[in-house]
C-alpha cells in the first residue's frame, strides 16, 4: 500500500513500503512542467510507487524524468521497468553508474552474492535500459525536474558513483545514502556500509561538501525529510569514525564475519535503544547487518591508500 506525504506544493514523498515495512525507502515526486522522480525504488516495489504517483495527482504516463542518486538496487532497481512502460521517461545518473543501467548484468551478479535467492522477492532484478534513454550528469551539472533546477553534486563514500541533488532555491538536498540512514521520527542516523566501494576518507569529504552547500532540509532515501541538518551530519560523521575504527581493529585482531557481526550488531543495538527504541527491525530492513559487516571488513582488508590511516 502506498503512503504519501506532501512536503511542498510541488514535492511528494512516496513510501515504497519496502518488504512490508513503512519508513524504509522514499521515492520523491517533483510536480510541475516536467514531472519527475528522485530515486525509483527497487523493482519489487514498482507497483506501490506507481500507486503513490497517482495519489499525488499525477498520471505515471506524464512522467518525463527520473534521477537516481546511485545504482544500488534499492535506489534505482525499478528504473528499467519504468523505462519499459513509459517511453518518454529519461533516466539521469552519475557517469560511472550509466553503463550499469544500460547493462545491469554485473549489478545483478553482485547483488546475488549479497542476497542469494532472496534477491527476487526482496529487490527484484533490474531491467536494461536503452542507452538513448540514459542521460549522464557530471559534477555540477544542472537538470530541470518538475518545476525545479537541481544541481548534481558528486558525493562518494558510500559508493563512488553517487550524486546528491541540490535545489539552491528551496535549500532542499536529496541525499541518497550520502547523509546516511535515519529513522523517521527520531534523531538517529548511521552510515550504510555495504560492499564494494565504501571509502571513509571520501565520505568525510562529502559531508564537508554537503555542509558547505548550506541545505535547509535533507531528503533521505532512507528515510524522509529532516531539518536537523547540522546535527544529523555531525552525528553521521561521528558514527562513520566509530565504524572505521571498529573495522580496522577487527581486521588487526583477525576477527571473522560472525565475530565482527556480533560486535557491530551490539553497537548498533545500543545506539538505537538510546535514540530510537523499538526501531531495530525497521533499521535492519533499511540496512541489513550482514551487508554492513561485509562492507566494513572489505574496507579494512584493502591496502591503505596514500595519506590514509
Residue 306 falls inside a structural domain: no
Residue 138 falls inside a structural domain: yes
Residue 151 falls inside a structural domain: yes
User: In the prediction, which pLDDT does 303 show?
Assistant: 66
**Residues facing residue 226 across a β-bridge:** 218
Q: How far is CA 230 from CA 162, 177, 178, in A?
A: 21, 16, 14
Q: How far is CA 157 from CA 31, 90, 161, in A?
A: 30, 26, 9
Residue 158 falls inside a structural domain: yes
User: In the prediction, which pLDDT does 1 show?
Assistant: 78
Residue 296 falls inside a structural domain: no
Q: Residue 25's Cα: distance from chain center in Å?
A: 8
User: Is the pTM higher than 0.85?
Assistant: yes
Residue 263 falls inside a structural domain: no
The β-bridge relationship of strands 172-176 and 90-93 is unpaired
Q: How far is CA 102 from CA 82, 115, 208, in A?
A: 13, 22, 32
Residue 34 falls inside a structural domain: yes
CATH number at residue 46: 3.60.15.10
First vs last Cα of the chain: how many Å apart? 46
Is residue 186 within 8 A of residue 235, CB to CB? The reply is no
User: In the prediction, which pLDDT does 306 show?
Assistant: 47
Residue 91 falls inside a structural domain: yes
Q: 3, 94, 18: which is closest to 29 by C-alpha?
A: 3
Q: Which range of residues forms the domain containing residue 52?
A: 3-236
Considering its fold, how many domains does the chain have in total? Answer: 1
Per-residue pLDDT of the chain (309 residues; tens, 9 = 90+): 789 999 999 999 999 999 999 999 999 999 999 999 999 999 999 999 999 999 999 999 999 999 999 999 999 999 999 999 999 999 999 999 999 999 999 999 989 988 888 999 999 999 999 999 999 999 999 999 999 999 999 999 999 999 999 999 999 999 999 999 999 889 999 999 999 999 999 999 999 999 999 999 999 999 999 999 999 999 999 999 999 999 999 999 999 999 999 999 999 999 999 999 999 999 999 999 999 999 999 999 986 664 455
Amino acid at each position: 500500500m502506498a503512503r504519501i506525504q506532501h512536503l511542498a506544493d510541488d514535492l511528494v514523498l512516496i513510501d515504497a513500503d519496502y518488504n512490508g515495512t513503512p519508513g524504509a525507502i522514499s521515492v520523491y515526486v517533483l510536480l510541475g512542467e516536467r514531472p519527475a522522480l528522485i530515486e525509483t525504488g527497487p523493482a519489487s516495489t514498482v507497483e506501490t510507487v506507481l500507486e503513490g504517483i497517482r495519489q499525488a495527482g499525477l498520471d505515471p504516463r506524464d512522467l518525463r524524468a527520473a534521477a537516481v542518486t546511485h545504482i544500488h538496487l534499492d535506489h534505482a532497481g525499478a528504473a528499467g521497468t519504468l523505462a519499459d512502460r513509459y517511453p518518454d521517461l529519461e533516466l539521469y545518473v552519475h557517469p560511472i553508474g550509466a553503463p550499469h543501467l544500460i547493462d545491469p548484468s554485473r549489478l545483478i551478479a553482485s547483488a546475488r552474492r549479497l542476497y542469494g535467492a532472496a534477491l527476487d522477492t526482496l529487490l527484484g532484478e533490474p531491467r536494461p535500459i536503452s542507452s538513448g534513454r540514459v542521460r549522464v550528469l557530471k559534477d555540477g551539472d544542472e537538470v530541470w525536474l518538475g518545476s525545479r533546477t537541481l544541481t548534481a553534486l558528486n558525493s562518494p563514500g558510500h559508493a563512488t558513483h553517487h550524486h546528491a541533488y541540490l535545489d539552491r532555491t528551496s535549500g532542499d538536498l536529496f541525499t541518497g545514502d550520502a547523509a546516511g540512514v535515519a529513522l523517521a521520527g527520531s534523531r538517529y542516523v548511521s552510515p550504510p556500509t555495504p560492499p564494494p566501494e565504501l571509502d571513509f576518507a571520501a565520505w568525510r569529504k562529502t559531508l564537508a561538501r554537503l555542509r558547505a552547500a548550506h541545505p535547509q532540509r535533507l531528503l533521505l532515501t532512507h528515510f524522509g525529510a529532516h531539518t536537523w541538518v547540522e546535527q544529523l551530519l555531525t552525528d553521521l560523521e561521528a558514527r562513520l569514525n566509530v565504524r572505521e575504527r571498529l573495522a580496522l581493529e577487527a581486521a588487526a585482531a583477525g576477527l571473522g564475519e560472525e565475530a565482527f557481526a556480533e560486535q557491530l550488531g551490539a553497537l548498533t543495538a545500543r545506539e538505537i535503544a538510546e535514540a530510537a527504541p523499538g526501531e531495530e527491525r525497521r533499521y535492519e530492513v533499511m540496512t541489513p547487518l550482514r551487508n554492513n559487516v561485509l562492507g566494513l571488513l572489505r574496507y579494512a582488508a584493502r591496502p591503505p591508500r596514500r595519506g590514509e590511516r
